[in-house]
Amino acid sequence: MLDVNYVLGLVDGEGSFTVYVRNPSSKTKTKRKVVVEPRFYIKLNEDDKDILYQLKDFFSCGSIYYQRDKRKNHKNCYRYEVFNRKELNEVIIPFFTKHNLKFKTKINDFNLFCDLMSKINNGNHLNEKGLEEIYKIKQKMH
């Protein structure tokens, strides 16, 4: 079973808080239909996938995916990911608000992630001005 400090260290080193945002000024068509996609994830070598299953149990949410890597000298990976907005709002954000990360870059990304989630929760991504603001904030993330 994982403890809080182990999870914090793992996320500080390997975790990511991100929001995929379609550029509102781009005129090119994209494959993604969704305009804004918030995500928390950790990607590990397939040899370490058991840790991701323990992490999924720890948070009681999220999914685990196989991620094939065709690059030379790279192994295939597994990815633990939480993209459900309710789980992000009710599990992930409260956990990392209560238990502080240590790395400044990760803290910065988490704070920006929380700001973006607040704007998404308020529906700002549903209008052009709000989407542009979200896109600009996203560009500040690591």
At 110-126, the pLDDT tens digits run 999 999 999 999 999 88
CA distance 75 to 80: 16
- For residue 26, pLDDT over 70 is answered with no
- For residue 89, pLDDT over 70 is answered with yes
CA distance 63 to 38: 14
CA distance 107 to 82: 18
Instruction: Identify whether the C-beta of residue 119 lies closer than 8 Å to the C-beta of residue 5.
Output: no
CA distance 84 to 63: 10
Span 27-50, pLDDT tens digits? 665 555 557 999 999 999 989 999
Give, in words, the CATH class of 4-138: alpha beta
pTM above 0.95, yes or no: no
